Every structure is written in C-alpha cells, then in structure tokens.
Amino acid sequence: MLLEVKNLDAGYGYLQILRSVSLNIEKGEYVCIVGPNGAGKSTTMKTIAGLISPMGGTIFFNGENITGLPASQITKKGISFVSEELNLFVNMTVQENLYMGAYIIKDKKVQNERLDFVFSLFPRLAERKYQLAGTMSGGERKMLAIGRGMMSDPKLLLVDEPSFGLAPQLVANVFESLDVLIKAGVTILLVEQNVTKTLAVTDRGYILENGKVGLEGKSHDLADDPYVRKVFLGV
Amino acid sequence: MSNYTVSKFLTWTKSAAGISIVATILIAVFAAINSGPYLLVNTIITGGMLALVATGLTLMLGVLNIAMFAHGEFFMIGSLTAYYVFTPISNYLSENPESFLAVIGPLIAILCAAIAGALSGIVAEKIVFGPLRRRSSDNWVMNSFLLCVGLSVLLVNMHQLIFGAEFKGIVQYWKGMPISIADVFISRDRAMAFVISAVIVALFWFFMTYTRTGMSIRAVSQDITGAQIVGIDIENVVLLTISLACALSAVAGGSLLFMYPSYPTVGLEPLYLAWFVVILSGLGNILGAVAGAFMVALLKAITVEYVGSGWDFVIPSILITLILIFKPSGIFGSDVRGALDK
C-alpha cells in the first residue's frame, strides 16, 4: 500500500470539512476523487500534501506515518502536489521553475536528468524554457505545474482540478499528459469535476459528498452505478 | 539578431524604466559638467550605500511581507558596532602606525557591523516577528508595521540609555593621501565605501540569481504555497532573509561611520531615503532597487547643489507623491506583482 488515509478529519479553523475520510492507493494505480463543489476534494488533497494539518485520523505513506508533517517534509518523502491555483513562480523562467521543482534533489546531474525527462514529456516547455512563467497561456501553465511536480521524482503525484478553466481541447491535452505519466509508472491521485471523462480514464474512484466518502470502487463500475449516473451524469 | 536587439533596446528606452534611467544619466552628466565631478562622486557613494539599505528593505517586503520601518535602527546598530570595534584599533594604530591593521582594521570593523546586524536581525525574528506570525491569521501587514515602529522606538531609546545621546564618530578609516582621478580628489574612505557597496551588491545579485538558496528566497517571495510544495522550509528562508537584510543595512551603517557618526536616530535618514527608493523602483525587484538608489542619490545631490540644502527631503518627497498618484507600481514594478497584493 503506497498511501493509506484512515478516518481523516480536517478543515479550516473551527470549520470542519472532512469527516472520517478513508482511502488507499496501491503503487502504480490511477485513482480519482470526484464529487460536487464543496465536497472536500481539494481539502483532502491539501491535507495529504501537508498544507493543512489534520484534526484527526492518520495518513501513512509507504508504511510511514506522515500525519501532521509540514508540506516541505512531505515533499521530501516523495509526494508531489499540483495545486488547483498552480502556485507557479511567475517571475521566474520556465527552466527556473522546473529547477525549483527539483529543490529537494541536491545533485545537479540528477536535476538535469529530471529536466530532460520533463522536457521529453512536454516538448512545449522545452521550446519556452527562457520565458517567464507568468507570461504563458493557461494550458502551458498547467503543463509547467505538472512538470514541476514531476521534477522531484515523486512516488505519488497529487493533481487537483487540472481541467479547471481550460478550453476543451486543452483539457484533452492535460489528460493525455497524465496518461503518459501513468505509463511511465507514476502513481496518480486525481481530483476532478469532469466526472464522465475522469471515470473513463482512471482505474479506481472515490465519490466524496459533504466531506464523506459516499461510494468507492472500480471506475467503470462507478460510471455504471445508477446513483452516480443520476446525480453526476444527469442520465 | 542585431536588428532584434536594437528594436528591443528602442522599446526599452520608451518604457518607464528606460526613460528614467536615460534621464538620470543625462542629468548626472549635465550636473557633473556644470558644477564639477564631486557631485557625481557624492551621488555614487550615497547611491551605493542606499542600494544596500534599499535591497534589504525590498527583500523584507517581498519575502516576509513586512513594511520594515525599523530598518534604520539596524543601520544604527552597524555604525555603533563599527565605532566600538574601530576605536581600540585606531588607538593601537596611533602608537604602531606601521601595523598591518592600518589596512584591514577598518574592514574588521565593518565585518563586525555586518555580523552584529545579522545577529540582531535573528533576535528580532525570534522574539518579535516569529511569535506574531505564528499567532496572527489576518491583518499581518498592519500588525507587523506597528511592531516595527515599536521595535524602532525601543532600539533608539536603548541606544540612548546605554551608550548616551552624543555623537560617536571617527575622523577617518583609512589614513593617507586622497586618491586623485582626473583632477578630482576622493578621500580613501569614500572610495572604499563605494568599492564595498559595489562588491556587496554584485555578490548579492549573483547569490539571488544563481544559487539554490537565493532562488529559494525568490521563490518564497513569489509564491509561498508553491515554495512549500517544492519542499522549501519556509522558517529557514525567513530567518535567512531577515538576517541578510539587517546585515546589509548594518554594513551600510558601518562603512559610512566616517560620514554619519553614530547617535540614537542616525537611522532615520537612510530609512526615509530607502523607502523613497523602494516606492520609486517598485517592490520586490533587486536590480530595480539598485538603480532607484542611484536616482534618489542623484536627486538629493542636485537638490542640495541647485535649490539649497534645506530642500533635500522636500524635492524627493514631491517626486514620491507624484509617483504614488500616477504610477503606484513604481518605475520598474510594471511586471512585478506587489507583495502587499497577496
């Protein structure tokens, strides 16, 4: 078991959002969390990434208890987070952003190998490596954020709402690049609002509602589930 | 390619940064021809030192989001340390004028000033800013500003209580004949003050642009969540930034001891001038702060020369007011998001 989240409670200040969320991910799996707005999908991701400290429950990664560790420590354990807001360094070039993604790797040679790997995944980034991140288009920024997340050679990549605010063509591009990563052997936990598309590409899914896991199972089973079809797909 | 470079240069000269830099150089050349090169020398020395104080201020604003109104007091700590380190050295030198300390003594004093500045910055972070940051959730800019004012009052009065209010100055750091360049005589202290600031600004720029640690400081100033995500330990960066910024200010205080003797409120003038620089050049831009420092220094020098020495704060203040009305992001701040917008 790569990631094991048990009875996780989390929230902001006195406002509790997650109530006893449990989920687990095996190595090499492509898992998604779907659900309506305000269900706590992003909160789950931020809590796993260490940006929010949990109120209760445990998070085990690779058999190690990482509950409540700060984000910088969690990144060093091998979890990389691509946030919804992307959090790029807008006044740095594409290449500098990618090197910052490999901040936890001290060996310059390994950094350059990772850079070549990311450039081979996203040739567009290689073309624009001296451009400031803040001057790129929305789709390119998503690519850069995913590329930056890959620079630290993570065991688990958390991707939050990659299709948010993108044109349909670019959404397809982002999903394609995630497919490439899965084939390269990366484990991905994906949060999405685009339920149809997400359940079509992932292995397993969790449906989050009001801060609780409503349903879980194989993605194609979930896509056929009458409740899911009625509530999320509108059929 | 060369055509591209030329057209890019022409676009640059039409931007706010281009216009102001070209205008500054023209005014400097004109003033130097009209009133003599000493004006230029004054500008360069004041500008170099101002650059040290202003880059520290920019850094504090960008990384920690603190409007640092106690920065002048670290200038004061630097000059005070340099005074107490250099006085025994200078007494020893008057008996042994041939000692090797004649050359490196002043450098030791300035180095001690830097160390004292960095240490006091760390103490300020540990007992003043750190506890507030861990406890406050909103209104950080205002609260930290009030803390800065309190810290400033405290340090000024501690100086007065412990060391007294009289001027603690030295005659000169480096003895010997002034250096003459093209009929202009520059005292060795002034020449060295410029060399020190030039070397430090260059090293600092290199550090911020190319080293892993410098890049992590820039990363934190641009996106603090992004910095956490890539594995940067924010507390370390904050501590490093505050000690660097305070050390830069203290170096300026230490190396200008021959011009500004140490007394409780010696830091006010450099503080105000550094704020002029930061407002003029825009936030979070180190090279912009360096250019802005020379502009403010020139403005001050020509005001004293052509309008009168009582006006040297009035004219820059008018300019700052105009900039805040018409271009609040500053001359070099057009593509930089203000730290206070976060």
pLDDT tens digits, residue range B282-320? 776 777 888 889 989 998 888 888 888 888 888 888 888
Which pLDDT score is estimated for B342?
39
Banded model confidence at residue B69, pLDDT cuts 50, 70, 90:
very high
How confident is the model at residue A177, as a pLDDT? Answer: 86
Please judge whether B230 and A101 are an interchain contact, meaning their C-beta atoms are less than 8 angstroms apart.
yes
Contact A8, A57 (CB under 8 A): yes
- Whole-model pTM? 0.86
Mean pLDDT computed over every residue of chain B: 86
Interval B81-105: pLDDT, tens: 999 999 999 888 888 877 777 888 8
Please tell me which of A48-52, B194-198, B326-330 the model is most confident about, judged by mean pLDDT. Answer: A48-52
Residue A189 DSSP class: E
What are the phi and psi torsion angles at B17 (to 5°)? -65, -45
- How would you label A31-55 residue by residue, b for 16+ Cβ within 10 Å and e otherwise? bbbbbeeebbbbbbbbbbbbbbebe
User: The dihedral of CA B134, B140, B142, B145: what is its sign?
Assistant: positive
Among A97, A206, A225, A212, residue whose Cα is nearest residue A149: A97
Q: Given 3.40.50.300, 3.40.50.10540, 3.40.630.10, 3.60.150.10, which CATH number is that of A3-78+154-233?
A: 3.40.50.300
Apex A29 CA angle, A28 and A30, nearest 5: 125
Residue A24: Cβ within 10 Å count: 16
Break chain B into its structural domains and give their ranges.
33-341
Work out whether strand A156-160 and strand A187-192 pair parallel, antiparallel, or are unpaired.
Answer: parallel
Tell whether the model's pLDDT for residue A6 goes beyond 90.
Answer: yes
pLDDT band at B341 (very low <50, low <70, confident <90, very high): very low
Confidence of residue A165 (pLDDT cuts 50, 70, 90): confident
Tens-place pLDDT, residues A7-36: 999 998 889 999 999 999 999 999 999 988
- Where would I find the beta strands (DSSP E) of chain B? 179-181, 184-186
Residue type, B165: A
Which of A80, A88, A99 minimises the CB distance to B226? A88
Distance CA B222, CA A88 (A): 8
How many CB atoms are located within 10 Å of the residue B315 CB? Answer: 16
Chain A positions in Cβ-Cβ contact with residue B223 (cut-off 8 Å):
87-90
Residue B340: pLDDT band with limits 50, 70, 90: very low
pLDDT of B284 reads 66
Give A109-147 pLDDT, tens digit per residue: 999 999 999 999 888 899 999 998 988 888 889 989 999
Supply the pLDDT for residue B251: 95
Cβ-based contacts of A103 with chain B (< 8 Å):
212, 216, 219, 230-232
When mean pLDDT is compared across A104-113, B185-194, B227-236, the lowest value belongs to B185-194
Tell me the average pLDDT across B245-266: 93
- Report DSSP letters for B231-242, one per residue: T--HHHHHHHHH
User: Do A89 and B219 make contact, defined as CB atoms within 8 angstroms?
Assistant: yes
Q: B218 contacts in A (CB within 8 Å)?
A: 89, 91-92
Q: Tell me the pLDDT band of B336, cut-offs 50, 70 and 90.
A: very low
Rounded distance between C-alpha atoms, residue B51 and residue B278, angstroms: 10
| CATH of span B33-341 | 1.10.3470
Q: Where are the domains of chain A?
A: 3-78+154-233, 89-153
Give CA–CA dist A54/A11, Å, rounded: 7
Interface probe with B: pick from A42, A66, A72, most Cβ of B within 10 Å = A72
User: Mean pLDDT score of chain A, rounded to an integer?
Assistant: 91
Asked if B338 contacts B329 with a C-beta cutoff of 8 angstroms, the reply is: yes
Sort B297 into a burial class: Cβ within 10 Å, 0-12 / 13-18 / 19+. buried
List the structure tokens of B168.
Answer: 């603690």
Of the residues A51, A80, A103, A105, the best mutation for testing chain B's interface (the one with the most B CB atoms within 10 Å of its CB) is A103
Q: Would strands A3-12 and A15-25 be described as parallel, antiparallel, or unpaired?
A: antiparallel
Residue B231 has pLDDT above 50, yes or no: yes
Size of interface A-B (CB pairs under 8 A): 75
Cβ contact B222–A92 (<8 Å): yes
Answer with the residue of higher pLDDT: B329 or B128.
B128
The pLDDT assigned to B329 comes to: 76
- Give the residue carrying structure tokens 């003043």: B128
Q: Looking at residues A208-227, what average pLDDT do you find? A: 90
* ipTM score for this prediction: 0.89
Asked if pLDDT for residue B242 goes beyond 50, the answer is yes
Q: Which two tokens stand for residue B179?
A: 């250096």
Q: How confident is the model at residue B333 (pLDDT cuts 50, 70, 90)?
A: low
Lowest mean pLDDT segment, chosen from A151-165, A205-219, B243-257, B283-297: B283-297
